[in-house]
Structure 1
């Protein structure tokens, strides 16, 4: 049985607070995109893994976080330029909407303040502080956390994830986010499917297949004017391949990628196609946590994934 995974990096202003010049359109689109994606997932009954920045679950703070071992200046924008922008710093209302959704979404972590775990400046103390705070806040909300999505896909400190009881993370795409078949025809037939694997810490890596907003700007406009939305075409190809090959297709985005109505149309086209395909085949739509549990259950004593739902994996 093939399956499709949809994961979202839910971060609002925290996805940009450390940048010298945050992109205004995306900063302002975070709340709109969050609500739109919840509505579309509900319309097509698509469960997704929502990785939420822990700070968004706070009602308020002084912006200092003096006990947090963050780098100097890490919270400067929060207590400076964005002091009066609580809509970018806090989102208990949006988290409430996510948890109240009739769709069986997975609540996952995107760290506490969007620290880059793979950065040389991020030591174990900082990684632990991010996980400690994020999981504690989730617990206060009555949410257990199994899956982690690294800020900016910067993988690091996997041992800390295991230490705090997480079981899965989203690894980097082996196909450059699925774009090679668009920008270079030599890779047109390259597979968009991924194979989850158990790492040395017992975590299940559920790699990304493609980023749904990786082909933007003038190139996208030209492509849409003479053909169709290339990312919709790629997503449909991945969904079809999952059906044919009984594999896993994992697509992801940020809610703040939905800056215009044409972005909404892209996601509607993808999710409607996914729902239609699921209704006509045995395709499943899974969360990262569900995939991780399947993979862990099918892993042998040597840590090798030998079968998933009865399908052998790896070398013959």
Structure 2
């Protein structure tokens, strides 16, 4: 019957604070996209894995973090031009909305301050500090962290994840993201299915199948003028393939990708299709944590979903 997983990188300003020229539209869309995605997922009763930057769960801070072993200048934007942009730096209100949702979402970690784990400047000490602070803040909220999403999918220091009790992480897409991934999956007819596996640290790697906003700009506008939204077509193809082959399709995005109404419509179309295929064909919707537990129970290799989540009454 197949399984679909949706994961979101919930980061607000932290996804861009290290960039010289952050994209203003996406920086400002973070809160809007977060609330919109919660509403859409609620409408179609679709649970997702929300990987949250730990700093967002703080009520306030001095912006210095002197005891954090980050590279020099890492928190400069927080202390300078975003000093009075608390809406970009903190989001306990949005995290509360997530946790109080009627849908059984998974709370996951996206590090403490969006440090790139594969960067040469990120040594084991810094990776451990990011995990420790994320876990500590989550514990203050009464939460634990089973799943981890690497900032910008820069996978490294997996041993640190294991040390801090993480169960699984999102691995890189085997087909690549953006135009390359779209070309490989649609033109070269490469599979969008992924196979979870257990690595040498006992962690479950849940690779991504496709980034849902990897085909944007003028190319997207032209494509939508003469055809349907290519990312919706790709997502539906992956969902159908999961059903036909009893496999896993893992779709991901950032809430800040929802900049305007047409982005909302893309996600509405995909979620409506998931809900419809769940009813028609028994598609299972899983979180990363649920898939990891099932993979471990199956001895380290995924062998198809065991149960079907009840379809929503809204679909």
Residues 307, 262 of structure 1: alpha-carbon distance in 2 compared, 3 angstrom cutoff? closer
Instruction: Look up the match of 1:216.
Output: 216
Structure 1 unaligned regions, length at least 5: 311-316
SS at match of 1:176: coil
Instruction: Look up the match of 2:239.
Output: 239
Residues 105, 54 of structure 1: alpha-carbon distance in 2 compared, 3 angstrom cutoff? same
Q: Deviations over 1:101-142 (max 9, x none)?
A: 000000000000000001111001000000000000000001
Question: How far apart, in 1, do the equivalents of 2:44 and 2:304 lie?
Answer: 26
Question: How far apart, in 1, do the equivalents of 2:287 and 2:70 lie?
Answer: 31
Instruction: Look up the match of 1:313.
Output: none
SS at match of 2:8: strand
Instruction: Look up the match of 1:152.
Output: 152
Residue 166 (structure 1) shift = 0.3
Q: For the aligned residues, what is the CA RMSD?
A: 1.4
- Matches of residues 175-190 of structure 1 in structure 2 within 5 Å? 175-177=175-177, 179-180=179-180, 182-183=182-183, 187-190=187-190
Moved over 6 A (4+): none
- Matches of residues 1-316 of structure 1 in structure 2 within 5 Å? 1-177=1-177, 179-180=179-180, 182-183=182-183, 187-299=187-299, 304-305=300-301, 307-308=303-304
Question: How far apart, in 2, do the equivalents of 1:156 and 1:44 lie?
Answer: 35
SS at match of 1:82: coil
Relative to the length of structure 1, the TM-score reads 0.94
Q: How many residues align?
A: 306
Question: How far apart, in 2, do the equivalents of 1:39 and 1:290 lie?
Answer: 22
Residue 281 (structure 1) shift = 1.2
Q: Deviations over 1:36-79 (max 9, x none)?
A: 00000000000000000000000000000000000000000001
Residue 99 (structure 1) shift = 0.2
Question: How far apart, in 1, do the equivalents of 2:243 and 2:153 lie?
Answer: 27
Question: How far apart, in 1, do the equivalents of 2:116 and 2:180 lie?
Answer: 26
Question: How far apart, in 2, do the equivalents of 1:71 and 1:37 lie?
Answer: 33
Question: How far apart, in 1, do the equivalents of 2:86 and 2:304 lie?
Answer: 44
SS at match of 1:215: coil
Residue 182 (structure 1) shift = 4.0
Q: Deviations over 1:195-233 (max 9, x none)?
A: 000000000000000000000000000000000100000
Question: How far apart, in 1, do the equivalents of 2:283 and 2:48 lie?
Answer: 15
Residue 22 (structure 1) shift = 0.5
Residues 22, 306 of structure 1: alpha-carbon distance in 2 compared, 3 angstrom cutoff? closer
Residue 305 (structure 1) shift = 2.4
SS at match of 1:251: strand
Q: Deviations over 1:265-311 (max 9, x none)?
A: 00000000110000111210000000000001111xxxx5274558x
